[in-house]
Amino acid sequence: MGLRFWIFAAFAGGLAHLILTLADRQVAAGVDRLAEIRLSRHASWEDDPELKLVTAHSPYMRDER
């Protein structure tokens, strides 16, 4: 009975190792694909040369109280 247990344990461990290795490769492939994505600059910022950035400290902001 001891030999059967060790054969089963080795088989189960090998199967678990195979499944985890495949899952790790899938995750690594997804990370590599995401790392290659380059976001293009939004063209609307360059469309209007008179466009001004409005922030909270800008004189263009009104107090809406």
C-alpha 40/C-alpha 32 separation (Å) is: 18
Which pLDDT score is estimated for 13?
A: 97
Q: How far is CA 7 from CA 12, 33, 36, 55, in A?
A: 9, 39, 44, 68
Q: Would you state the pLDDT for residue 54?
A: 64
The contacts of residue 58 (CB under 8 Å, 6+ apart) are 52
Per-residue pLDDT of the chain (65 residues; tens, 9 = 90+): 799 999 999 999 999 999 999 999 988 888 777 777 776 666 555 666 676 666 666 565 666 55
